[in-house]
Chains A and B, each alone.
Chain A
Amino acid sequence: MVASTPVSGANPACFDSSWLPRLESLLAAGRGAGADLVEIFLERTDHLGVLAEQEAITNVSPSFGMGAGIRVFRGKRDGFVSTNDLSAQGLLQGLDQALGMLGLMLSSAPSSVPSKGFEGLGALRDFSAVKGDWLERCPSLAEATAKLLEGTSRLAKHGEHLQARRGSYSRDWQSVLVAASDGTFARDIRLHQSLGLNVLAADGDHRAGLGRRYGTSDRPDDLRDWDADAAAQDVCTSVGTMLYADYVEAGQMPAVLANRFGGVIFHEACGHLLETTQVERGTTPFADMVGESIAHEAVTAIDEGLSDGAFGSLSMDDEGMEPQRTVLIERGVLKGFLSDRAGELRTGHGRTGSGRRQSHAFAAASRMRNTFIAAGPHTPDQLIASVDKGLYCKSMGGGSVGPTGQFNFAVEEGYLIENGQLTKPVKGATLIGEAKEVMPRISMCANDLELAAGFCGSVSGSINVTVGQPHIKVESITVGGR
């Protein structure tokens, strides 16, 4: 919901319209010094982390912060300064330093009167209107600790040979205000909560460690609604299976990747290469391929910030723009890129509401939000039945992509496929390949699309995202193992 008129925040930590004169003064000063565009990002945060191990709460770590990121553009160049000092003096010094990076300097004390090239800020676009009490509505510390202890206790109930049981809870509340000399003036409140359960099972020489993370945005009651028993049972079933698994035999083989976190393959193999950040660096093989086929026709891929409650959803991006639903690939054909302000300036791809950053300490960059391969016509069983000998990847670990487009990611829970059936569990697999080669090999998509929460680290820090997909089949991929 967006309110178009300035309102004061109910929470004193929220930014309100009283900031308008100071921001207009700074923006006018920046434009007056010769900058083409000045952008100021203000932030206050309130974080809570809780760790439960076995039957005890072993760490409670609240933290709160504040800061500003000031970015100045001139031509296609930009300078960025971040500071924890939100005083008028601190912000002015930050602006001065950013201008100095571009060879510009403040001519005099900033004026409160809009200067040439700056018409003043527009009406505040208030995405935080219904979110003022979200922080207060989140579970109390007592509630959070009790829920986590319930989680570790359920792990003990469902698991065998468990040497370590951990439950972790993280609540990140963030109030932001974005003002730019093109008139952008917007504020928002973001709330992300995530829960993790991790176990280590050991029996003689057999050891297996495994974890699951659950995360949502914009849902103060999320922790209360969490089904600790089901989550614990899920983790324990998987670790019990993997405890006695053999190491996978290495080689080139077909693979079926399960839905939800299997989507990390698209995130790493292709998603990063469709960010204008990569176009700018010249590190994507897809830079000049819009309209061309880059994947199997079974593949349609989308990135958006709109899915209700999903971990990567946004009301506005970190440049004050509402997120778009961006079709990246449609039936195998490249349709577009994810772009932020600098990406649009330098590559010509229009902004998609994808300018994201971990905090005020980073300049926004084009980043993924909720990224997924669309559902297809098949059932998961049909995919598995189509493989004579291959690997079923039920759960994926993390991954990465390098500057040449080579990607890799770890398989946390895997099974052999033999004669169209799942057989024994295997561990220690890493999938590697190159985006240009693997995308045409995704030949079948099932009808069971789901999203999974995660964190993505890149040029503008670690951000909340979701990955997602239905079950998919890759005709051939390199499996690293023993």
Chain B
Amino acid sequence: MADNRLNPEALSARLQQLAQAAAIHQWDLGASCSTDTSVQVDRGEAKLMKGAQRSAITVRVWNDKGLVGITSTSDLSDAGLERALGGAHAASAFGNSEETPAFSPLATAPLVSLDQPLREPQPILTLLESLKEAERQLLDRHGAIGTVPYNGLAQRSSERLYLNSDGARRHQLLTTASIYLYARAEEAGRKPRSSGAVRMAFGTSDLDIAGCIEEAAERTIAHLDYAPIETGSYTCVFSPEAFLDLIGAFSSLFNARSVLDGVSLSQRDSLGQSLAVPFLSIRDNGLHPGNIGASLFDGEGTPTAPLELVEGGILRNFLHSEATARAFGVHPTGHAGMGAKVSVGPDWFEIGPTPGSGGGQQGLDRFIHGGPLVVIDSLSALHAGVKASQGSFSLPFDGWLLAGGVSRSIEAATVAGDIRKLLREIIGFEGEAKVTPDGLCPYVWVEGLSITGEA
């Protein structure tokens, strides 16, 4: 709390000193510090006001046999650093000799410059008033909206750092803010319904609060007049958010670590093979301007960069850390975490038609389609309903049945299928791609998915 800032020079010098004393010649370090404030409200009253100061350091060392050990701590004092270094050295005795991480060859490569303006934090009581007003406006939007049980307005100032004993030094400062509003509506004799919206920005003054209220209200009201759906096979239209969630849940398809571990549906030789319809492209692009909170470098110091994953339906690349890139004979892609066994993950997806491909069926419009169509607005329970290594999913969703020109919200239902089959049964895209917190995507039409409603 006293001084929640990282000092790269001092940290580097201190670690070098401690490492020399312990006869450790190779090390690297990832550190982060953040200061958060957030508020929640409940029917015009403050519900929870929260502040947090967080700090964390992860130290890796290579022992004299070249094996790697790691330790993390929230204690940034000299004693904490010394203990972490000692712990990592002790853990290195159990390092995996079959696969040892090394420094990323790109840990000193130039970083791109992003426009990430730093915003001053607002006083927490100002946040409280803003959120109370947002709640009031949302409650006023419809008589059935009785509460906004899940809501929050938060701001964060954060710092990230990567250092290594070869002289790499990465440092990034960032401010972000977010608001979420999830309303609950209920009409006499009917079950309660709920929906909501999220917005992110560099600071609270930049947040599109009005847009968030509008979207939360529209979505909630649109689910009031619900009806059960008959179990069967339907053409489905995924909202951008829902499709991005689904692709994110199956991102092991693109993950070199998962491929090497044998838990991905992809194999080493899947590159260059057809994965989807010939008009689908999926790109990972953490540097997209819509990605609030973009990292300039990954956990190994590798610069973040755009990467084509699927182009014209063909699997083109995997996401890599230094170790997986070495195993595949390519460069690291900037998607690594930090560890003795380094994890790999996506940043921010751009999904849409492959340029020049035509993009599937043209002129798709769910509002003029004769139907029946199931519009999948949001998916839930992805942690439980997705079997990424099997390819299957069975997920509850909120959405609408469009039939005969009439749209009706669907009572409790699930959508089930296989991701490989789904990617080959995309019909086309509708509308412009939308920027969401997870990526960029238009509405996606898919043929023949199993919907379970009433028997």
Hey, which bits of chain A sit against chain B, CB under 8 A?
50-51, 53, 56-67, 76-85, 87, 89-91, 93-94, 97-98, 100-103, 141-142, 145, 163-164, 200, 207-209, 247, 250-253, 280-283, 361, 363, 397-400, 402-406, 408-410, 427-430, 432-434, 478-482
Contacts and interface: CB of A to CB of B under 8 A. Distances in A.
A363 B385 CA distance: 30
B146 interface: yes
A403 B2 contact: no
Nearest to B76: A84
Interface stretch (B10-18, B47-55, B167-175, B290-298): B47-55
A85 B2 contact: yes
Contacts of B182: 403
A400 B390 contact: no
11 contacts: A62-B71, A66-B75, A82-B52, A82-B53, A84-B55, A87-B2, A253-B455, A400-B383, A403-B182, A408-B385, A480-B416
A282 B146 contact: yes
Given A62-B91, A250-B416, A251-B231, A403 B1 contact: no
Contact of A399 (B384, B389, B390): B384
Nearest to B97: A56
Given A51-B341, A282-B146, A481-B416, A141 B91 contact: yes
Given A82-B51, A209-B387, A252-B455, 15 more contacts: A61-B339, A65-B75, A77-B46, A79-B49, A80-B48, A81-B52, A82-B50, A84-B53, A208-B390, A247-B416, A281-B42, A408-B380, A408-B381, A410-B384, A478-B452
Contact of A98 (B51, B184, B416): B51
A97 B51 contact: yes
B69 interface: yes
A426 to B, nearest CB: 12
Contacts of B413: 432, 480
Contacts of A91: 1
A250 B396 contact: no
B125 interface: yes
B132 to A, nearest CB: 12
B72 A85 contact: no
A67 B380 CA distance: 33
Given A77-B46, A400-B381, A430 B416 contact: yes
B423 interface: no
Contacts of B383: 398, 400
A409 B383 CA distance: 10
A189 to B, nearest CB: 19
B90 A141 contact: yes
Contacts of B396: 406, 408, 430, 432, 480
Nearest to A410: B384
Contacts of B394: 410, 428-430, 480-482
Contacts of A479: 452
A100 B50 CA distance: 11
A89 B124 contact: no
A482 B50 contact: no
B1 A89 contact: yes
B191 A57 contact: no
A200 B381 contact: no
A482 B450 contact: yes
A413 B293 CA distance: 40
A283 B184 contact: yes
Nearest to A283: B149
A363 to B, nearest CB: 7
Nearest to B53: A83
B389 A81 contact: no
B436 interface: no
Contacts of A97: 1, 51
B392 interface: yes
Contact of B452 (A53, A60, A89, A251): A251
B98 interface: yes
Contacts of B54: 82, 84, 361
B147 A282 contact: yes
B103 interface: no
A58 B391 contact: no
Contacts of A281: 42, 147, 149-150
Given A65-B73, A282-B149, A81 B340 contact: no
Nearest to A57: B94
A428 B385 CA distance: 8
Given A65-B73, A84-B55, A482-B416, A77 B45 contact: yes
A361 B381 contact: no
A54 to B, nearest CB: 9
A481 B414 CA distance: 8
Given A56-B98, A164-B262, A404 B389 contact: no
A90 B75 CA distance: 13
Contact of B341 (A58, A76, A85, A406): A58
B99 interface: yes
A90 B149 contact: no
Contacts of B75: 64-66, 84
Interface in B141-166: 146-147, 149-150
**Most chain A CB atoms below 10 A, which of B42, B71, B385:** B385
A60 B194 CA distance: 42
Contacts of A58: 96, 99, 340-341
Interface string B360-375: 0000000000000000
Given A53-B261, A281-B42, A64 B391 contact: no
B242 to A, nearest CB: 15
Given A61-B70, A61-B72, A93-B2, A80 B192 contact: no
Contacts of A60: 69-70, 91, 94-95, 340
Contact of B412 (A63, A100, A478): A478
B294 to A, nearest CB: 24
B35 to A, nearest CB: 10
B142 to A, nearest CB: 16
B108 interface: no
5 nearest CB pairs, A to B: A480-B414, A250-B452, A398-B384, A252-B455, A63-B72
A402 B194 contact: yes
Contacts of B76: 84
B417 interface: yes
B455 A251 contact: yes
Nearest to A78: B48
A399 B35 CA distance: 32
B214 interface: no
Nearest to A87: B2
B36 to A, nearest CB: 9
A90 B90 CA distance: 31
B283 interface: no
B340 A61 contact: yes
Given A251-B455, A434-B412, A101 B124 contact: yes
Contacts of B392: 247, 427-428
B395 interface: yes
Contacts of B94: 50, 57, 60, 141-142, 145
A156 B170 CA distance: 43
Contacts of B56: 65
B78 interface: no
